[in-house]
Structure 1
Amino acid sequence: MENNATRHTDSTDQRLTDLEIKSSFTEDTLEQLNQVVIRQQHEIEWLLREVKQLRLQIPHDGAAPRLAAAGDDLPPHY
């Protein structure tokens, strides 16, 4: 009976060790994902500022911005 109890304890110890390892990897993965989310939030905030700046450059007189025609700026070798 003692042998069976020892095996049961060893099995429980191994399962506990496995769970602790999985928990550690899960915590590490969560931290990495958190850093990705933080970086993406900073990028989104930067992009929103850029869009705001671009909107300020659009004429407010109702006219569409003039786009250069393909032939307006010929390279110097022509």
Structure 2
Amino acid sequence: MKKKELLQMVEDLQSQVAFQEDALQALQAALTGQQQDLLVLRRQLQLLKERQDEQAAALDDARPEGREAPPHY
């Protein structure tokens, strides 16, 4: 191979590496954002579950003794 061809190959490889580094940084940023979103969603789910448990307990407390909830169809 000629020196010119080798230099072109090296430049092409450097360009590919630079592109891959940019892509990797973009993927890392996306992953970080998704991890933050997941943390927020988990917290919201936990709060909803706690609220639902509180409401279920309040309904049980409000139900007169001896009366069961009607069956659901």
TM (norm. structure 1) is 0.77
Partner of 2:9: 8
Equivalent position amino acid for 1:35 in 2 = Q
Structure with higher RCO (Cα < 8 A, 6+ apart): 1
Q: Pick the structure with greater CA Rg.
A: 1
Report the counterpart of residue 33 of structure 1 in structure 2.
34
The residue aligned with 1:76 is none
Compute the displacement of 1:45 (Å): 0.2
* CA shift for structure 1 position 60: 6.1
Matching residue's letter, 2:47: W
Q: CA deviation at 1:57?
A: 1.1
| Aligned equivalents of 2:24, 2:14: Cα separation in 1 | 15
- 1:37-59 deviation per Cα after TM superposition (whole angstroms, max 9, x unaligned): 00000000000000010001112
User: Unaligned 5+ residue runs, structure 1?
Assistant: 65-78
Amino acid of the structure 2 residue aligned with 1:8? M
Give the TM-score normalised by the residue count of structure 2. 0.82
State how far apart, in whole Å, the 2-side matches of 1:46 and 1:5 are.
61
* Number of the residue aligned with 1:53: 54
Distance 2:23 2:42 in 1: 28
Q: CA RMSD in A?
A: 1.4
Give 4+ residue runs of structure 1 displaced > 2 Å after superposition.
none
